[in-house]
Structure 1
Amino acid sequence: MSTLCSYEGVAGNGALMRLAPVPLFFYRSPADAVRHAGNSALLTHGDKRASDACRYYSALIAGALLGYSKDELLDKQFYIDRCKEGWFGGSEERVLDPEIQNIVDGSFKDKKGGYVDGIRGKGYIVSALEAALWAFCYDNNCFRTGVLQAVNLGDDTDTTAAIYGQLAGACYGINALPPEWLEKVYAREFIEGLSQWLAYEGKEWYTRQKTNNGLQNASLDSYSQLEPTEMNEV
C-alpha cells in the first residue's frame, strides 16, 4: 500500500494511539490484523518505523485476545514464532526497522527504573512504543498501576497511557479497569455499544472469510481431481 497522506520520516505516535480497533476487528485472522495495522499507520505516518511499530503492537493485542499470556507476549520469541506462523507476511516484511527490532528484543526490560533509565513517553513513535511496553511489563498485573506509570513519565502523557491501555485492556479485560474511572468516562454507553458492534462485525467478517475460503478450496480440489482433458473443457 502506498502512503496516502504522509511522507517518509513522519514517525509520530498518533498511529499507535488509535490502533486498537484494527486488531479488535481482525484478531481472529492475525496476519490480517498485522497487515491492516501497517496500512492504517501509512495513512498518516509514512515512515517504516511507524508502520512496523503498529504491525508489532497489533500482533501483541491480537495475541492477548487469542489467549497468549503476558509473559509470552513480552518474550522476544513471540515475534520469532509468529513470523514462522505467517503473521508478519513474507521474508521482506519480517525485517523490522532496527529501532523497532530493538524493542521487540526487550530493550524496555533493561530499563526497570523507567524515566531514570531512559524511558520517555514522547511523541516519537519508537519512544512511545517502548514506554507503553515498559509500563505493561512493570505494572504488577494491575491496570491502574500501569496507567499511572505511563502518565507519570511526563511529556505526551495521554498518548502513552492510551497506547498502554490498548494492550493492557486486551490482556486483563474490562473487569480490571477501576470502576471509579469507568464512571467518569464520557459517552461510556456509546463507546461500549460501538465496541460491541466492532466485535460483532469482526466475527461476521471472519465467518464470511472462512466460508469463502472453504468454497474456493473446495473448487480448487474439484479441479485437481479432473483429468487434463476435462480441465481443458472447463
Structure 2
Amino acid sequence: MQFPSPHEHILPNDITCISSPPLPDQFNVKDRIRGSMLGLATGDALGASVEFMPHQQLLAHPVSGMQSGGTWGLKAGQWTDDTSMALCLASSLITTRIFDPYNQMVRYKWWYKYGFLSSTGHCFDIGKATRNALNIFSQRQKILQQAFGLHNEIQVDSLSFKDVRKVYAFDVNCSGPDVAGNGPLMRLASVPLYYFRNPALAVELSGQSARLTHGSEKAIDACRYYAALIVAALRGESKEQLVSQQFYHNHRAWFGAKDLCTEVLYIALGSYKKPGGYEMGIRGSGYIIKSLEAALWAFWSDGNSFRNGVLAAVNLGDDTDTTAAIYGQLAGAYYGAESILPKWLKQLYAKDLIICISDWLYYFGQQSHSTVHKKKNMYYHVPTQLHKKYSNPAIRMHRGMFQSVVPRRVHKAKNYDSYLRDHLPNPQMWASSQAHIRPQYQQIAANHLVPYSDIFQQPFYSGQR
C-alpha cells in the first residue's frame, strides 16, 4: 500500500487501493478490523453535520442518518479530523511497519498543514490541544534540521524515530501533563487493531500514541483502557465480558505495572451504566473522561445494534462526531463491518480506501506478531503529578522497544502528596511540616477512590481535543 506525498494533494477518494495478500481468517477478525475503522468513520460522518449542536436542539431534531451541511458545510458521508488523524496513524503503521511516534507526528503535521488524508483536501477542523502540539512539533523539527545538517522540510520529515532519538535535545512528546482532550481517543483504533495479537503491547503503545499530543495521565489511561476493550472484542470476548465490572481485573496483566488512574478506573467499574443517559449525566464533551464514558454508555445501551448506539452517541450533542467515532471503534470491532447499515456505507466518503487500509493493518499486524514482543519493563513511570520542569519526559528506545523516561529526582511520596493536595475535597494547606496528617489523607483517598469521581471532573478541558 503506497500513500501519496502530501505535496501531491491527492484526495483520499483518488488514492489507488492495492489489495493486501490473502491470509487465513478463521475467527472473522478481518471483518472486525474493517468494522472498527468503518465504524469510526461512520460515526464521525454521522455527527459531522451537527457538531457543537446542544442536546436540547437534537431532542427536537434528532439525527437519523447521513446528512449534509452543518458547521463545516460537508456533503453527506464526509468525515472530519477524527477520521483524518485515524488514517494518518494507520498509514504510519502500514508504511513503517513499526510503531514510530516521530513518523506519526509527521503525518499529523501533513494533515494540519497540507490536508493529507482530509475528506476536503485541507484541515478544516482541529482541536486546540492537537493544534498546539503540532505547532510545537514543527518548531522542534528545527532542532533536527540543525543537528543533521538538513536543508528542507522533506528531508527532516523523512527521518525515523531511530534517527531522532539520538538527538538529546529533541522530544517527540509535544504536550504538557494537564492536557486531557479527547483527541487521542478519537484516532486510536489502528494501534490496537495492528497489535491485537499481543494485548500488552497494544495497550502500552496505545498509551504512547496519546502522549504525543495529550500528556495527561487521564488521556493516556483512557486510551490504554479503550485499546484493551478493542483488543478483547477482536479476540472474541462477549459483550457481557467487555462491559463487566471485572474486565480490568480480569485483564490486569495487559496493563503492566501502571494502574489506571482513578477517573478511568471509575469508568472501568461501570460509571457509564446509566439508563437515563443524558438526564443522568452522560455528556458528549471534549474532555476525554466524559467522551470515554459517553461512548461506553452508547455501547452498553445499544441493544446489540450499531445503528442504535451510534445515533445515541450523536444525539447526546456537543462533540457529536467524536463521541460517535469513539463508539464506532469498539462497536465496529465487536459487531463487525456487516453491522453497519449498507446505505450508510454507500454514502461514506472514501469507503474503499478505509477498507483497504483496514486489510493492510490486518496483514502487517500478522507479520509483526512473530517479531515484536513486549518487554517486561515496558510500563509507565509517569507519576500522578509532575513538576513543570519535569513535564514531557522523553520517549527513548530500550532494546528495540519504547520506554518513557522520567527523571529519578521525582519522588513517589512527593507525587502522592501532590495528588492528595490537588484532588481531595477541601484539602488543608500541605507542607512538609504537616507530614503527620498524611495518613488521614490516605484514608480519605481510599474512601473516595471510586464513589466520588465527581471531585475529579475538570470541565475546563471541554472542547480542547
Whether contact under 8 Å (1:135, 1:146) holds in the other structure is: yes
Q: Name whichever of 188-197 and 46-55 sits farther off.
A: 188-197
Rg bigger for which structure?
Answer: 2
1:89 aligns with 2:256: yes
**In structure 2, how many angstroms separate the alpha carbons of the residues matched to 1:208 and 1:54?**
24
The alignment's C-alpha RMSD in Å is 1.3
TM-superposed CA distance for 1:8, in Å, is: 1.0
1:140 corresponding residue in structure 2: 303
**In structure 2, how many angstroms separate the alpha carbons of the residues matched to 1:193 and 1:157?**
26
TM-superposed CA distance for 1:3, in Å, is: 6.9
- Of the candidates 145, 149, 154, which is equivalent to residue 317 of structure 2? 154
TM-superposed CA distance for 1:16, in Å, is: 0.4
**In structure 2, how many angstroms separate the alpha carbons of the residues matched to 1:174 and 1:142?**
12
| 1:1-80 correspondence to structure 2 within 5 Å | 4-80=173-249
1:172 aligns with 2:335: yes
| 1:81-230 correspondence to structure 2 within 5 Å | 81-83=250-252, 86-90=253-257, 93=258, 95-109=259-273, 111-209=274-372
Alignment deviations for residues 171-204 of structure 1 (CA, whole Å, 9 cap, x no partner): 0001100000000111111111111111100000
3-state SS in 2 of match to 1:108: coil
Runs of 4+ in 1 over 4 A off after TM superposition: none
Question: Could you say if the C-alpha distance between residues 43 and 151 of structure 1 is closer, same or farther in structure 2, counting changes exceeding 3 Å?
Answer: same
3-state SS in 2 of match to 1:76: coil
1:216 corresponding residue in structure 2: none
Whether contact under 8 Å (1:3, 1:46) holds in the other structure is: no
Stretches of structure 2 that go unaligned for 5 or more consecutive residues are: 1-100, 102-170, 374-465
**In structure 2, how many angstroms separate the alpha carbons of the residues matched to 1:47 and 1:112?**
30
Whether contact under 8 Å (1:120, 1:131) holds in the other structure is: yes
**In structure 1, how many angstroms separate the alpha carbons of the residues matched to 2:341 and 2:222?**
28
1:227 corresponding residue in structure 2: none
**In structure 2, how many angstroms separate the alpha carbons of the residues matched to 1:18 and 1:205?**
21
**In structure 2, how many angstroms separate the alpha carbons of the residues matched to 1:102 and 1:160?**
19
Q: Which amino acid aligns with 2:268?
A: V
* TM-score, structure 1 as length reference: 0.85
**In structure 2, how many angstroms separate the alpha carbons of the residues matched to 1:24 and 1:14?**
18
Q: Which amino acid aligns with 2:326?
A: I
**In structure 1, how many angstroms separate the alpha carbons of the residues matched to 2:340 and 2:180?**
30
Seq. identity, %: 56
State the structure with bigger RCO (CA 8 A, min sep 6), 1 or 2. 2
Stretches of structure 1 that go unaligned for 5 or more consecutive residues are: 211-234
Alignment deviations for residues 10-35 of structure 1 (CA, whole Å, 9 cap, x no partner): 00001100000000000000000100
TM-superposed CA distance for 1:145, in Å, is: 0.3
Whether contact under 8 Å (1:132, 1:150) holds in the other structure is: yes
**In structure 2, how many angstroms separate the alpha carbons of the residues matched to 1:12 and 1:112?**
25
Whether contact under 8 Å (1:60, 1:73) holds in the other structure is: yes
**In structure 2, how many angstroms separate the alpha carbons of the residues matched to 1:151 and 1:81?**
31
Whether contact under 8 Å (1:147, 1:164) holds in the other structure is: yes
Alignment deviations for residues 25-84 of structure 1 (CA, whole Å, 9 cap, x no partner): 00000000100000000000000000000000000000000010011011121110111x
